[in-house]
Amino acid sequence: MKVLVAPDKFKGSLTAAEVASAVAAGLADVHPAATVTALPVADGGEGTVDAAVSAGFRRVSVPARGPTGQPLTASYAVRGRTAVVELAEASGLHRLPAGPEPRTASSAGIGDVIAAAVRAGCRRIVLGVGGSACTDGGAGLLTALGARLLDDAGRELPPGGAALSELASLDLSGLSWVDIELASDVDNPLYGPDGAAAVYGPQKGASSVDVEVLDSALRHWASIAGPEFADRPGAGAAGGVGFAAMAVLGARMRPGIELLLDLLGFGAALAGADLVVTGEGSLDRQTLSGKAPAGVARAAAAAGVPCVAVSGRCLLSAVELAQAGIAAGYALTDLEPDPARCMAEAAPLLRRLARRVAADHLG
């Protein structure tokens, strides 16, 4: 028997690599002769760099700015001339030193990381855009790559989305052009009721007034930087980083899990497999909207390989799982009803859960 274990992280308790290790150990407990291949995955959000490193990329640490300009160390993953960059590494919510700053948080830090990768010789940048702390339309990203955003007096704008309302001109003469592929499942436009500020701003601490200010500023930003891109699906990703990357840098957008599976060599790892085990912390409605387990299950189904999923909790019915290509779902809460204990003891519980998977599906 050959089993491919390809989970995402259990957010707050286990990395994707730790999930894969626990599952592999549980499978081996029941079927020690089975060949188990671990391939931790990600969909472009937090954990994307870790997944790339687990697949053989090399981690590189570089200095960058956080969302409020504070110095920090961020990392990207590299193999050959391809770099995998995770926006949350430098510009994520967890990088805010003193709470949300919805009007002033900047994406400049992820531009710092990309610039460092380019200086190191990378020519292809795969950018995962989940977990952003900013709603600056990607302006910070562009300034870190050499663009200048000027007001009507020729002064450079301060960081953050709110300042974009004062933009008079965009100087791209010093811009470093890079080949970027965006890994994202967000299809929101840049502004409007379904835009970056309205939908995601409140998650970043924006009040109703902040949302109005930011949405108006993003609308103005688009009128100068590329109005024809504002309604593109994904323009609102990461507070508008998707818009800047597509409108100014010519980036291409692909569903995050599809792009990452290609990059991580999922097809080769799947060859000859009898079963795929995927999973994430919570199997729920969001899973069905392009999250990692659904993408893994879809790829497995295309190859005719059955797929099951493990999770901390499962809020999907058997019918919903089947519609996503998942033959069965196994949750830690099946073993331990206390969510706190599930979080604290996730690895040993997951190993026990994997024994059930082995008994049910490996004969």
Task: Rounding to the nearest 10 degrees, give the CA dihedral for residues 342, 345, 348, 352.
Answer: -20
Q: What is the mean pLDDT of residues 267-289?
A: 95
Q: What angle do CA 251, 253, 256 make, to 5 degrees?
A: 135
Residue among 213, 200, 113 at smallest CA distance from 161: 213
Is it the case that residue 60 has pLDDT exceeding 90?
Answer: yes
Average pLDDT over residues 100-104: 97
Reported residue count of the chain is 363
Strand pairing category for 148-150 and 124-128: unpaired
pTM of the model: 0.93
- Residue 159 pLDDT exceeds 90: yes
End-to-end CA distance of the chain: 10
- Mean of the pLDDT values across residues 115-126? 97
Q: Which pLDDT score, from 0 to 100, does residue 363 have?
A: 78
What is the average pLDDT across 218-242?
Answer: 97
Predicted pLDDT of residue 49: 96
Please check whether residue 167 is in contact with residue 150, taking contact to mean a CB–CB distance below 8 angstroms: yes
pLDDT, tens only, 174-200: 999 899 999 998 999 999 999 999 999
Rounded average pLDDT over 299-317: 97
Identity of the residue numbered 33: A
Cα dihedral: 226, 232, 233, 239 (round 10): 20
Answer whether 11's CB lies under 8 Å from 281's CB: yes
Over residues 97-113, the mean pLDDT reads 97
% pLDDT > 70, the chain: 100
Retrieve residue 126's tokens: 């795969």
Please tell me the predicted confidence (pLDDT) of residue 296: 97
287/71 Cα distance (integer angstroms): 34
For residues 243-265, give the mean pLDDT. Answer: 95
pLDDT of residue 47: 92
Say if residue 87's pLDDT is above 90.
yes
According to the model, what pLDDT value does residue 4 have?
98
User: Which band of pLDDT confidence, cut at 50, 70 and 90, is reported for residue 251?
Assistant: very high
What is the Cα–Cα distance from 181 to 82, expressed in whole angstroms? 11
| Per-residue pLDDT at 100 | 95
Read off the pLDDT band of 290 (50, 70, 90).
confident
CA angle 97, 99, 104 (to 5 degrees): 90
pLDDT of residue 136: 98
pLDDT(17) > 90: yes
Q: At what angle do helices 292-302 and 256-264 cross, to 10 degrees?
A: 60
Distance CA(108)–CA(101), nearest Å, equals 14
